[in-house]
A and B are shown apart, each in its own frame.
Chain A
C-alpha cells in the first residue's frame, strides 16, 4: 500500500500546473463557454506538442505509453484552469476504444493522429428519449446511419465519431458531409452537441461480437468518468482556493469572514470531501491500469465523488456570497464543469446501485 504519487507523476502534475498558470488563464475558458465550436485551437496545439493528447496511447501507436493514473494526474491539474480541451474525451472515448476494439487498419489510421492531437475523436451515445449513457442504442444500420445522437461532447471539432448502434460500434467521419452538428444550450463546460446523421457512411469498429462491443462502451464510459472525476477534483480544488481567498480578503463586521466558524467550517468540509474524492479517483484510475475487475472501485469513486462535488460547490457559492453568482468572478467556470460532470455518465444513484451489487446483498 502506498498512496503517494511517483516522481514521474509529480513532475507531470507540476508541469501541467505550470502550463495552466502560464498558458491558460481563466479568460480562455470564459471565451469558450458559449462558443459554437468550443475549441481553443492554439491551446490544443500547445497541449498536443507536450504529448498530452496521446498520453495513454501505447508507444507503438505513437502515444506516450502512460497509464490511466498518469492521465488522471494530468487532468486533475488541467481542471485547475479550467483548461477547455478535448483531451479527456478524445483519449478515453475515442483513442482507447479504437485501441481495444479496432482493426489493424483502423488503429493505424486513427491512433497516431489522435495521439499527436492532429485528429480529435469522441463517442456518440445518448439518443432522444433515453435516460443516460447506459441505455441500449436503438440506432441501426450498417453502411449508412440515419438518426440523432444527443449530448455528444466536442462533436464540432471531431474528425472521428465512435457511434453506438444496436448492432455494435461504428466509426463515422463527421466531416464527410452527411453529419450535422449543433451545440446544445449546454452549461458551458465541455461543449455538447446534437449530432444528426443522414445516411452517414459508417464502418464497424473491428469485428468483435455485439456483446464484446457493449463491454467496450461500458469500459470507455468508466474511463471517461474517472478521468472527468479527476479533472473535477482540480476544479474543486481551485474553487476551494478561491473560497479561502475570498473568506480571507472579505471583511464584514470588522473581521475577515473566514474567521467566523460558520464560514471556516464550510471551507474545511470542502477540503475533507475534496481529499476523499481525489484518493477514490486515484484508486479507480489505478484499478483501471490493472488487469482485474474494476467495477467496484470505479463505482465507489463516482458514487462518492458526484455527491461530494455537489456539496463542495454549494459551499463554494455560499462562502463567495453574491460575488460567486456573478459571472464577473471566475467561480462559475468551475461550477459549470462540476455540475455538468455530476449529471453525465450516470448520476450518483446509478453508481450506488453498482456498489450495492458488490456488497453481498441477496
Chain B
C-alpha cells in the first residue's frame, strides 16, 4: 500500500492549479447560474485544455488521447470538481459519451464524433429520463420507428441538463421494440439537436435557471448511421455508460474545497475557537477523508486492471452524502445570513454555501437515486434477495 502521490503527480496537480488560477475569471461560479458568460467560458477552457493535451488525457492514443494513468486522471477530476467543473457540459463527452462511442461506435462514427470532442468544440446532452421513466429507466417510452435508412423519433425526455446551452448533439435512449421485454427493446441514437421537430423547454430549479430542460421529439428524423451499437441492444450501453460516469466524478474534491472555505470563514469571524464549531468541521473533514479513500480504492482497482462495480457504487454513495452534509452543516454554521444568495452584499462567502446546498439537493437523485444505488449494492454486492 502507498497512500501518497508520486512526485510527477504532485507536480501535475500544481501545474493544473496554476493553469486554473490563470484561466478562470473571478466571477466563475460554475454552471447553472444566470450568467450568459458561463458557457463561452467553459468552451474557452476546454479549447485551452485541449491545446495542452489535458482534455482527453484519459483517452487512448488511437483516439487522440495521451492514455494518462488513472491517477493522473483522478488528479484532473479532483481539480476540475474542486473548481466547479470548468469544463461545463463537456465533462460528459470525456467521461462517458466519448468512451461509449469508442467501445460501441463504427469507425465512421468514431472519426465523425470523437475529434470535435477532443478539440473541446462540441456540447452533448443525454436524453435518458422521461416523465414516467426515472429510477425505472428501462420503462422509457420515447419511440423510434425503424424506416430502413432512418428512424423517426417521437416522445419526451426530461431533466436534460445542458440541452439549452445549446447542445449540439444528444445521446438519446429510444424504444425500438415494443414487443420485447423492456430491457431488450432499447436503442441508442446520436441525434443532431438542430434537426427539425426538437423542442427544448427550460425548467427552473431551486438552484436557479439553466439546470434542466424538457426535450420533446415530434417526428424527428435520425439517419441510420447515427445508431450507436446494435438495434434493441442499447441497455448494455446504458449500464456501461453509468459505470463510467460513476467513476468519473470526484465530488469529494468539491466538498473538500467547501470545507476549506468554512475553515476560512470560521477564522475570519472568530468562531474557530468554539469547540462545537471545531468538532463539526472536524467531522466533515473525517467524512471527506473516508469518501476520498473509497474513491481511491476504486481507482486502485482500475490501476490493477479490475473494473470496480460495488466499490464504485460505495464510493458514489459516500460522495453524494458527503456533499449534502457539508452544505447542510455549512449553512448551520453560517447562521441566518447563510440563506442569502450571491447577489446580496451581506451573503457570507458570497452565497457559496447556499449555492452548494441548492445544487446538491439532487445529488442523491441524479444518475441513479441513492436508493437505487443501495439496491444495487444490496443485491449484487451483498447477495441479498430481490423483492418478490
User: What residues make up the interface of A, taking CB atoms closer than 8 Å to B?
Assistant: 1-6, 9, 69, 240, 244, 247-248, 254-256, 258-261, 264-265, 267-269, 271-272, 275-277, 279-280, 282-283, 286-287, 300, 303-304, 349, 352-353, 355-356, 359-362
> Does B296 sit within 8 A of A, measured CB to CB?
yes
**Which residue on B lies nearest to A255, using beta carbons?**
B388
Known: A300-B289, A355-B286, A356-B279. A1 touches B4 (CB 8 A): yes
In the complex, 24 of the A-B residue pairs with CB atoms within 8 angstroms, ordered by the A residue number, are A1-B9, A1-B299, A1-B300, A3-B1, A3-B3, A4-B1, A4-B301, A259-B385, A260-B387, A261-B374, A268-B317, A271-B382, A279-B293, A279-B294, A286-B1, A304-B286, A304-B289, A352-B278, A352-B283, A353-B279, A355-B282, A356-B278, A356-B279, A361-B281
> Does B34 sit within 8 A of A, measured CB to CB?
no
The 6 closest A-B pairs by CB, nearest first: A276-B290, A356-B278, A264-B378, A355-B282, A361-B272, A258-B384
Residue of B9, B281, B314, B378 ringed by the most chain A CB atoms within 10 A? B378
> Does B329 sit within 8 A of A, measured CB to CB?
no
> Does B2 sit within 8 A of A, measured CB to CB?
yes
Q: Are A265 and B278 in contact (CB under 8 A)?
A: no
Q: Are A359 and B285 in contact (CB under 8 A)?
A: yes
Residue of A240, A244, A258 ringed by the most chain B CB atoms within 10 A? A258
Q: Are B384 and A362 in contact (CB under 8 A)?
A: no
Least CB distance, B320 to chain A, in whole angstroms: 11
> Does B304 sit within 8 A of A, measured CB to CB?
yes
Within the complex, which residue of A259, A272, A303 is in contact with B283, where a contact is CB–CB below 8 Å? A303
Contacts of A304 in B (CB 8 A): 286-287, 289-290
> Does B297 sit within 8 A of A, measured CB to CB?
yes
Q: Are A360 and B3 in contact (CB under 8 A)?
A: no
Residue of B263, B283, B289 ringed by the most chain A CB atoms within 10 A? B289
CA distance in complex: A102, B9 (Å): 41
Q: Are B386 and A259 in contact (CB under 8 A)?
A: yes
Contacts of A2 in B (CB 8 A): 1-2, 300, 303
> Does B267 sit within 8 A of A, measured CB to CB?
yes
**Which residue on A lies nearest to B259, using beta carbons?**
A359
CA distance in complex: A338, B20 (Å): 46
CA distance in complex: A265, B375 (Å): 7
> Does B273 sit within 8 A of A, measured CB to CB?
yes
Q: Are B286 and A3 in contact (CB under 8 A)?
A: no
Known: A3-B300, A261-B375, A355-B286. A255 touches B293 (CB 8 A): no
Q: Are A1 and B371 in contact (CB under 8 A)?
A: no
* Residues of chain B from 249 to 303 with CB closer than 8 A to chain A in the complex: 263, 266-267, 270, 272-273, 275, 278-279, 281-283, 285-287, 289-291, 293-294, 296-297, 299-301, 303
CA distance in complex: A361, B267 (Å): 6
CA distance in complex: A300, B9 (Å): 24
* Residues of chain B from 282 to 339 with CB closer than 8 A to chain A in the complex: 282-283, 285-287, 289-291, 293-294, 296-297, 299-301, 303-304, 311, 314, 317-318
Contacts of B311 in A (CB 8 A): 275
Known: A268-B378, A304-B289, A353-B282. A1 touches B3 (CB 8 A): yes
Q: Are B383 and A244 in contact (CB under 8 A)?
A: yes
Q: Are A271 and B279 in contact (CB under 8 A)?
A: no
Contacts of A260 in B (CB 8 A): 387
**Which residue on A lies nearest to B267, using beta carbons?**
A362
Contacts of A268 in B (CB 8 A): 317, 374, 377-378, 381-382
Residue of B282, B378, B385 ringed by the most chain A CB atoms within 10 A? B282
Residues of B within 8 A of A (CB-CB), count: 53
Known: A1-B296, A1-B300, A276-B290. A247 touches B384 (CB 8 A): yes
Contacts of B235 in A (CB 8 A): none
CA distance in complex: A355, B263 (Å): 13
CA distance in complex: A203, B282 (Å): 41
**Which residue on A lies nearest to B297, using beta carbons?**
A3
Q: Are A271 and B314 in contact (CB under 8 A)?
A: yes
Least CB distance, B182 to chain A, in whole angstroms: 21
CA distance in complex: A359, B285 (Å): 8
Known: A255-B388, A283-B3, A352-B283. A244 touches B273 (CB 8 A): no
Known: A261-B371, A267-B382, A271-B314. 5 other contacts (CB 8 A): A3-B3, A244-B382, A275-B297, A283-B293, A359-B278
Contacts of A286 in B (CB 8 A): 1-3
Contacts of A9 in B (CB 8 A): 1
Known: A6-B1, A303-B282. A1 touches B382 (CB 8 A): no
Least CB distance, B243 to chain A, in whole angstroms: 18
Contacts of A258 in B (CB 8 A): 378, 384-385
Contacts of A240 in B (CB 8 A): 382
CA distance in complex: A244, B384 (Å): 7
CA distance in complex: A362, B266 (Å): 8
Least CB distance, A320 to chain B, in whole angstroms: 14
CA distance in complex: A240, B385 (Å): 15
Q: Are A361 and B266 in contact (CB under 8 A)?
A: yes
Q: Are A353 and B378 in contact (CB under 8 A)?
A: no
Least CB distance, B299 to chain A, in whole angstroms: 8
Q: Are A265 and B371 in contact (CB under 8 A)?
A: yes
**Which residue on B lies nearest to A243, using beta carbons?**
B382
**Which residue on A lies nearest to B5, using beta carbons?**
A1
Contacts of A287 in B (CB 8 A): 3
CA distance in complex: A286, B9 (Å): 20
Contacts of A261 in B (CB 8 A): 371, 374-375, 387
Contacts of B388 in A (CB 8 A): 254-255, 259
**Which residue on B lies nearest to A9, using beta carbons?**
B1
Contacts of A352 in B (CB 8 A): 278-279, 282-283, 286
Within the complex, which residue of A265, A275, A283, A300 is in contact with B285, where a contact is CB–CB below 8 Å? A300
Q: Are B281 and A276 in contact (CB under 8 A)?
A: no
**Which residue on A lies nearest to B381, using beta carbons?**
A271
CA distance in complex: A240, B378 (Å): 12
**Which residue on A lies nearest to B9, using beta carbons?**
A1
CA distance in complex: A168, B381 (Å): 50
CA distance in complex: A349, B286 (Å): 12
Q: Are B282 and A265 in contact (CB under 8 A)?
A: no
Within the complex, which residue of A4, A272, A303 is in contact with B317, where a contact is CB–CB below 8 Å? A272
* Residues of chain B from 201 to 237 with CB closer than 8 A to chain A in the complex: none
CA distance in complex: A268, B375 (Å): 8
**Which residue on A lies nearest to B310, using beta carbons?**
A271
**Which residue on A lies nearest to B274, using beta carbons?**
A361
Contacts of B382 in A (CB 8 A): 240, 244, 264, 267-268, 271
**Which residue on A lies nearest to B300, using beta carbons?**
A3
